[in-house]
Amino acid sequence: MNKLKTVLVLCTGNSCRSQMGEAILNHDLAGLVRGISAGTRPQAKVADGAIEALKLAGLPTEGLYPKDVAALTDEPIDLVVSVCDNAKETCPVFPGAVRCIHLPFHDPHGEPLESFVAVRDDIRARLVPAVRQALGL
């Protein structure tokens, strides 16, 4: 039986793009990866638009909350995916040879729900294949 690969989706605030990435990976690659997300400067809560966009796609939102990446440095991580330029620049160093890839997505904060839905669809279209390729799945 193969061990699940842990994928950290990293953003600045961990309130939108990284949260959607976590939910999408845990749904679309269930049984292959364990998606987690964190931020370099986490916000107080997950953006309402991100939660609504996930729900509209039938994706679970329970248990999503902003987390500080500093709390995960001892976590065994197989792949780090930065989804914003700031997180790419400030990503901490993880123990071992952790592979990192950068896959930036538009930040829909302050925009209508349609923007969150478009970003959700972009994350699903690009993140899932990128993780599959990076981990050889």
| Residues designated catalytic | 11, 84, 91
H/E element, 7? strand 5-11
Residue linked to tokens 């939102």: 61
Q: Which uninterrupted H or E stretch holds 21?
A: helix 17-28
H/E segment holding residue 118? helix 113-135
State both tokens at 45. Answer: 């809560």
Q: How far is CA 1 from CA 20, 33, 60, 75, 128, in A?
A: 28, 13, 26, 21, 22
Tokens linked to 33: 């990866």
d(CA 109, CA 48): 10
